[in-house]
Amino acid sequence: MVRNAGGRVFDALRTLAVLQTIGPPGTIVVMHHTDCGLTHYHDSKIREALSELAPGDKTAIEATRFGEIKNSIEDSVKEDIEMLRASPWIKESTQLIGLKYDIDTAKLDVVEQNQAQL
């Protein structure tokens, strides 16, 4: 399990790539939940706060993507699954599953799923 703010794939891609090299690829599950903080707290606010914290790093801060979720949770899951599909670091034989967890109902919905290409 790789956890990070917003559950976004781009933060986890390096770790997932390493895991692809040390064993069979298996399955990668991307799961985002409703009422995620990054649906409310956007990159612009994070940049503003970090620029106050580290004014000398403004160029790096402005260039960094922090993982805001602009649209629906389903859309963010689909974006992340697409990023994995497009990555040359993820084997085609890796099964990709995208899930949405509803924190109010504890319901887990499949948003996207592909069968591994063996």
Render each residue's pLDDT in the chain as its tens digit; 118 residues.
Answer: 888 888 899 889 999 999 999 988 789 999 999 999 889 989 999 999 999 999 999 999 999 999 899 999 999 999 999 999 999 999 999 999 999 999 999 999 999 988 655 4
42 is in an annotated binding site: no
Is 105 among the domain residues?
Answer: yes
Is 61 among the domain residues?
Answer: no
Which domain covers residue 94, as residue numbers? 5-38+72-113
Q: Which residues contact 30 (CB under 8 A, 6 or more apart)?
A: 7, 9, 77, 80, 81, 84, 96, 97, 98, 99
Is 57 among the domain residues?
Answer: no
Our separate counts of H helices and E strands in the chain read 4, 3
Instruction: Give the pLDDT score at 115.
Output: 66
Instruction: Give the pLDDT score at 118.
Output: 47
Taking CA atoms, 29 is separated from 9, 78, 93, in Å, by 10, 12, 14
40 is in an annotated binding site: no
CA-CA distance, 115 to 118, in Å (whole number)? Answer: 9
- The total of structural domains in the chain comes to 1
Among 113, 107, 41, 105, CA closest to 77: 113
